[in-house]
Amino acid sequence: MKKIIFLILIIFYSCSKNNDDSSEVTEPRMGNSALTNIFASGDVSKQSVEQAKKTIFGKWNLGNSNSSNRSYSNKSTECIFNYIEFTDSSYMMNLSIGEGGSTPESGNIFGNYELIEDGELVTEVRLYFSVSGSDVHLATLTNIIVTETESDFNATFDIDFVIDLGDIDIICGDLGGSYSAEKEDAMDETIGADLDSNHFKVVRNWRMTSYSDSDGMDLSGVLTSYCEDYYYSSETDSETVTIDPDCIIPTSFQVNLSTFGTYVTITSDAIGSPLEIDVGTWSWINAEQTQFSVDDEWVGNINSLSETLWEFDSEDEGFSQSWVFSAIE
């Protein structure tokens, strides 16, 4: 009799343990996808790091509905916090920066993030930005709650900027405060993206290791062109190319592809500090996932793709280009 009771207790304990550990629960809507669950929700302050990473994962659009989301500096620059996107290991923040009624420019911040725990529960999410090769604490997110209503996901959170955005060359006042955001739909290919799919393989961080084109340009030339100035003389009908002596020639070019259709390109110097950050959109063209489009303007053809190596080319009106990227761990 004692053995039976003991066995029953073990069974109930095991079931209880499995039910409490939501990291073991499979989301049926993800199908056989090997990507991070895009359907997670909850109060981040009541979740473990593993659970919270899934909850914040995605692209969160803030929109212009809340006037408190706008900031004005003493230089009459209007800044609007457009969206923030979290991948498995990094984040991207997009701002609109307008001055004196002019057309807003895009300001982009990209870096790593860290989930801070207290008693195995997440208390805050820290955003970092690379300065002089080191990660600097940029901002902190707290009180993050994600809710699902009829398959729509919405988040509320507080953000506190630890440093002045002017310190990273973004002229804005304090954008700290409380925000609400709507989660953008992921790419259709997210569902069912198993380990063998090109979608799973390509969604990650990449560094360009080789480039060539039909004009004879190579990777070194591409990086040097970042600092080139072009001057056209109407008198001689000729163009002169010079190197800006005050420009830092980059040593690295990387791209981050997300399953929410966002790409981020980062041009960096020798110590890893970003010189330029650009964002845009990408999508698949064919069902075989061998052709992709960038900003609906440019088409790449994949020659080879694994979780560590990505090779593709493009041709337009007789001009051909080839790229090789290696995955960044």
The domain of 172 spans 30-185
Asked whether residue 14 is assigned to any structural domain, the reply reads no
Instruction: Please state, in angstroms and rounded to a whole number, the distance separating the CA atoms of residues 313 and 180.
Output: 41
Q: What is the pLDDT of residue 74?
A: 41
Examine the fold and report which residue of 185, 209, 224 is the final residue of a domain before the chain moves on: 185
pLDDT greater than 70 at residue 6: no
- CATH code of residue 227: 2.40.128.280
Average pLDDT over every residue of 98-111: 72
Q: What is the pLDDT of residue 126?
A: 98
Query: Do 158 and 102 share a structural domain?
Result: yes
Q: What is the pLDDT of residue 170?
A: 82
205-213 and 152-161 beta bridge pairing = unpaired
Asked whether residue 233 is assigned to any structural domain, the reply reads yes
Beta-ladder partners of 283: 293
Query: Do 43 and 161 share a structural domain?
Result: yes
Examine the fold and report which residue of 137, 156, 185 is the final residue of a domain before the chain moves on: 185
Asked whether residue 16 is assigned to any structural domain, the reply reads no
Query: Do 209 and 177 share a structural domain?
Result: no
Look at the chain and report how many structural domains it folds into. Answer: 2
Asked whether residue 83 is assigned to any structural domain, the reply reads yes
Polymer length of the chain = 329
Query: Do 221 and 165 share a structural domain?
Result: no
Average pLDDT over every residue of 143-149: 98
Query: Do 150 and 36 share a structural domain?
Result: yes
What DSSP assignment string belongs to 13-57? HHHHHHHH-GGG---GGGTT--SPPS---EEGGGS-HHHHHHHH-
